[in-house]
Amino acid sequence: MTPYDPYDPYDPYHQGSRAVQDRVGVRELADHVGRSIGDGIRPVAAAFLELQPMLVIGGADPAGAVWASLLTGEPGFVRATGPRQMSVAGRPRETDPLARALAQEGTPVGTIALDPRTRRRLRLNGRARPTPRGLAIEADQVFSNCPKYIQKRQLSPGVMAARPKAPRHGVKLTGDQRAFLADADTFFLATVHAKGADAGHRGGNPGFVQVPSPYELTWRDYPGNSMFLTLGNLADDPRAGLLFLDWATGTTLQLTGTARTDHADDGSRTVRFTLTEAVETYCANPLGWSAPEYSPANPTQED
C-alpha cells in the first residue's frame, strides 16, 4: 500500500481521510471518486452557482473555533469570476461568528452550494479574501456530490419580512433548542485540516440527530461517496461547526465544539459532537422554504 504523502499535489486526500478510508476498506473506491475533485470551476458548475440563493461557508474564527455560516442573496450573488475563483456579493453580518475571520486576507474556507429544489450540491474549498462587494474565494478543490440524503424543498414566494434579531449566545442547549435539533432533517458541518477547511451536508429523517444532553449531539454516519473528507478532517483535528436552519421561520442555530467518530464492530459509525458554544439568531435567513419531501435514500429508524 502506498503511504500518504502530505506534500503530494496530485492526491486530493490528506492523511486523516486516508486513514479512515483504509479502516473502512474503501481506498480503491475513494481513488476512483477522487478523480472528480479538481481545482477549476467548470462551465456546468458556474451555471449552477449563478442559480443559487444561498451558500454555506465554514472556517475557523480568530480564536480557533470552527463555525458554519449562511450567506443568502438574489440568484447571481454567487458566481464564478475566473477558472479558479468564485465571488460572493456579501459577507456575514458583523454579529456572525465568522465575520472577523472573513474580513481578513487568505482565510481557509470550505463552501457548499446546496439546492433543495433539485437535490444538487457543489463544494468549493479554498482561501477567501474580502472585496468591496463581499468575498472572493480562490479554489483549491471543486467537486459535486450525489443527491443522497438531500430533502427536496421549494422556495416560498417572497421573503421573510422580519429583520434579524441580536444573536443569542449560550454554552449549553436550551430545551427548545434540543427539541428543534431532535426534529431536524438537515444540517451543515464545517471541519478543518492542516491544508484548509471543508463544508459538508448531513441529512436524514427527523430523529437522525440525537441530543442526549444539553452539551452533546450524535448522529449516524450514513454510507456516502467513500471520500471521508469530513471524518478524515475530524480524525486529524476534532474542531467542528454545525449549522441548523429553521426552513420555515428563518432562524439559524450555529454550534461550535469538537467531534469524534465511534466505529462499531458491525461497520456502523456514530459521530459524537460536544458543544462549546451555541449562537441562535432569529430571522437570520430571509428565504422561506416549503415543507420537505424526504429523500428516498434516508434510512428509517429501524435500519
Give pLDDT tens digits for 187-202.
999 999 988 999 999 9
Spatial contact of 128 and 137, defined as CB atoms under 8 Å apart: yes
- Name residue 239's beta-bridge partners: 258
Q: What is the mean pLDDT of residues 15-44?
A: 87
CA gap 128, 131 in Å, rounded: 9
CA gap 64, 46 in Å, rounded: 31
CA gap 178, 225 in Å, rounded: 30
Residue 125's SS3 state is strand
Residue 242's pLDDT band (boundaries 50, 70, 90)? Answer: very high
Q: Which of 190, 218, 14 is nearest to 110 (CA)?
A: 190
Identify the pLDDT of residue 300.
83
**Which triple of cell numbers denotes residue 77?**
450573488
More confident call, 160 vs 29 = 29
The CATH classification of domain 15-289, taken from the options 3.30.160.20, 3.40.50.300, 1.10.510.10, 2.30.110.10: 2.30.110.10
More confident call, 223 vs 120 = 120
Question: What pTM was estimated for this model as a whole?
Answer: 0.93
Q: What is the DSSP letter of 293?
A: B
Identify the pLDDT of residue 7.
39
Its sign, for the CA torsion 175, 153, 198, 13, is positive
CA gap 164, 219 in Å, rounded: 29
Residue 25's pLDDT band (boundaries 50, 70, 90)? Answer: confident
Mean pLDDT of the chain: 91
